[in-house]
């Protein structure tokens, strides 16, 4: 396979990528390449579970079931705007009929970016006002949410974490945390640079372990293990951090904040008079959705929440459960009974 850099204009031709804000689309473009397949080459097989979101850029791509071609997708056509065979495990095999160009995106990364793209700007202005931090807030928050570690944290928890964080400003040379001290906070560097050093019997000055930049996190090891700090972090320039207290850190990571339900349990709620609430973008909903589902995109939930019935039980759903957990958190905070469909609608 050959690779070439992808442009934001190309990504804007696909759904739901066309709903991303410019900066997030540019960040995604830097992580993605256009790849090329030869005729007859397989891209995935029936039963594959690797979570990749695939779009056909050019050429004809075949969907095969039990040796028979059951469908084709031609690059540049309307069907090619949507992800190929998005259900996991894959229900069909995918192969190139002729020379095919495609892009493949880590589905968890894309889902995190979609979730934050639809909540981030609102939350920054709501939580942090209009000062200097508000202007830079999206930068470090977006960086943080794109890290693999934060892929494991439900967005509902992430939202609460941001609400409870406190900003602290530092001067160059200030020590943020000292090796051997008690663990009390989890930190995110939001401005400036910092140095991580560890004192050893052979080096009282400290061995350099890492340089921290905006968006980097530190301090979690001591909170998780309930141990002493294993390094010292010192500011290399004037800057600032956001910090989260030990109890909040543990609670938000270890205690369930939402009512998660399996597909079977969700169907019981629906049979008892509940309502599916799909929080994906309209283009995703139009392409595939559950019967009887109501579509309110995540970024519209606060605006449309008064249209929902207080006595109704809602099962909030999306592709994976990530965006729906954020939606259910908003509903629950405002007194609605909301469940989250575990693993999302793309999971059999």
pLDDT band at 1 (very low <50, low <70, confident <90, very high): very low
User: Within 10 A of 52 (CB to CB), how many other CB atoms are there?
Assistant: 19
Residue scoring higher pLDDT (235 or 190): 235
Q: Within this chain, do residues 139 and 49 fall inside the same structural domain, yes or no?
A: no
Residue 136: is its pLDDT beyond 60? Answer: no
In this prediction, residue 323 carries a pLDDT of 84
CATH of the domain at 44: 2.60.120.10
Q: Within this chain, do residues 243 and 115 fall inside the same structural domain, yes or no?
A: yes
In this prediction, residue 124 carries a pLDDT of 38
d(CA 234, CA 243): 15
In this prediction, residue 302 carries a pLDDT of 75
Using DSSP's 3-state secondary structure scheme, residue 76 falls into coil
Give mean pLDDT, residues 128-147: 53
d(CA 196, CA 211): 6
Please answer whether residues 260 and 339 qualify as being in contact, where contact means their C-beta atoms are separated by less than 8 angstroms: yes
pTM of the model: 0.65
Q: Within this chain, do residues 198 and 154 fall inside the same structural domain, yes or no?
A: yes
Q: Within this chain, do residues 151 and 246 fall inside the same structural domain, yes or no?
A: yes
d(CA 89, CA 103): 19
CATH of the domain at 323: 3.40.250.10
Q: Within this chain, do residues 248 and 114 fall inside the same structural domain, yes or no?
A: yes
Q: Which residues contact 226 (CB under 8 A, 6 or more apart)?
A: 183
User: Within 10 A of 171 (CB to CB), how many other CB atoms are there?
Assistant: 10
Q: Structural domain of residue 270, as residue ranges? A: 259-341
Q: Within this chain, do residues 8 and 58 fall inside the same structural domain, yes or no?
A: yes
Please answer whether residues 194 and 212 qualify as being in contact, where contact means their C-beta atoms are separated by less than 8 angstroms: yes
Please answer whether residues 145 and 112 qualify as being in contact, where contact means their C-beta atoms are separated by less than 8 angstroms: yes
In the chain, the number of structural domains is: 3
Q: Within this chain, do residues 269 and 248 fall inside the same structural domain, yes or no?
A: no
In this prediction, residue 320 carries a pLDDT of 85
d(CA 280, CA 298): 6
Burial 298-328 (b: 16+ CB within 10 A, else e): bbebeeeeeebeeeebbbbbbbbbbbbbbbb
d(CA 217, CA 199): 20
In this prediction, residue 207 carries a pLDDT of 80
Q: Which of 235, 254, 273 is the last residue of a domain?
A: 254
Residue scoring higher pLDDT (150 or 242): 242
Give mean pLDDT, residues 244-270: 82
Q: Which of 223, 254, 285 is the last residue of a domain?
A: 254
Q: Within this chain, do residues 44 and 32 fall inside the same structural domain, yes or no?
A: yes
In this prediction, residue 133 carries a pLDDT of 42
First to last CA, the chain: 31
Q: Which residues pair with 104 in a beta bridge?
A: 54
Q: Which of 228, 254, 280 is the last residue of a domain?
A: 254
pLDDT averaged over the chain? Answer: 84
Q: Within this chain, do residues 76 and 182 fall inside the same structural domain, yes or no?
A: no
Tokens 């969907």, residue?
Answer: 63
Percent share of the chain, pLDDT over 70? 84
Using DSSP's 3-state secondary structure scheme, residue 260 falls into strand
Q: Both tokens of residue 281?
A: 């973008």
What digits encode the pLDDT tens for the residues 66-113?
A: 999 999 999 999 999 999 999 989 999 999 999 999 999 988 778 877
Tokens 């019967």, residue?
Answer: 291
Lowest mean pLDDT among 117-126, 149-158, 267-276: 117-126
Inside any domain, residue 348? no
Torsion of CA 22, 327, 159, 116, to 10 degrees: -10
Inside any domain, residue 346? no
């Amino acid at each position: 396979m050959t690779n070439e850099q992808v442009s934001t204009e190309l990504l804007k031709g696909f759904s739901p990528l066309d709903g991303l804000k410019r900066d997030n689309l540019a960040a995604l473009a830097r992580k993605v390449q256009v790849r090329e397949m030869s005729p007859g080459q397989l891209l995935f097989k029936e039963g594959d579970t690797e979570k990749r979101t695939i779009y056909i850029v050019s050429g004809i791509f075949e969907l095969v079931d039990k040796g028979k071609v059951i469908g084709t997708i031609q690059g540049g056509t309307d069907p090619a705007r949507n992800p190929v065979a998005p259900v996991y495990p894959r229900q069909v095999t995918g192969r190139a009929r002729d020379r095919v160009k495609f892009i493949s995106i880590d589905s968890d990364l894309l889902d995190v970016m979609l979730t934050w793209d639809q909540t981030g700007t609102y939350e920054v202005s709501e939580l942090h006002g209009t000062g200097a931090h508000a202007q830079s807030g999206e930068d470090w928050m977006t960086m943080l949410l794109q890290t693999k570690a934060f892929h494991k944290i439900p967005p509902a928890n992430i939202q609460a974490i941001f609400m409870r964080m406190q900003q602290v400003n530092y001067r160059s040379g200030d020590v943020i945390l000292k090796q051997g001290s008690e663990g009390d906070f989890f930190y995110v560097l939001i401005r400036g640079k910092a140095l991580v050093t560890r004192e050893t019997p052979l080096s009282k000055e400290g061995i350099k372990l890492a340089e921290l930049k905006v968006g980097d996190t530190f301090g979690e090891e001591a909170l998780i293990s309930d141990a002493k700090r294993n390094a010292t972090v010192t500011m290399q320039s004037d800057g600032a951090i956001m910090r989260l207290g030990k109890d909040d850190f543990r609670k938000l990571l270890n205690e369930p904040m939402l009512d998660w339900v399996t597909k079977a349990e969700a169907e019981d709620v629906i049979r008892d008079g509940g309502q599916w609430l799909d929080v994906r973008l309209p283009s995703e909903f139009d392409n595939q959705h559950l019967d009887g589902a109501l579509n309110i995109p995540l970024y519209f939930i606060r605006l449309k929440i008064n249209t929902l019935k207080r006595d109704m039980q809602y099962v909030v759903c999306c592709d994976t459960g990530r965006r729906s957990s954020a939606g259910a958190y908003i509903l629950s905070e405002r007194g609605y009974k909301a469940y989250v469909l575990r693993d999302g609608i793309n999971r059999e």
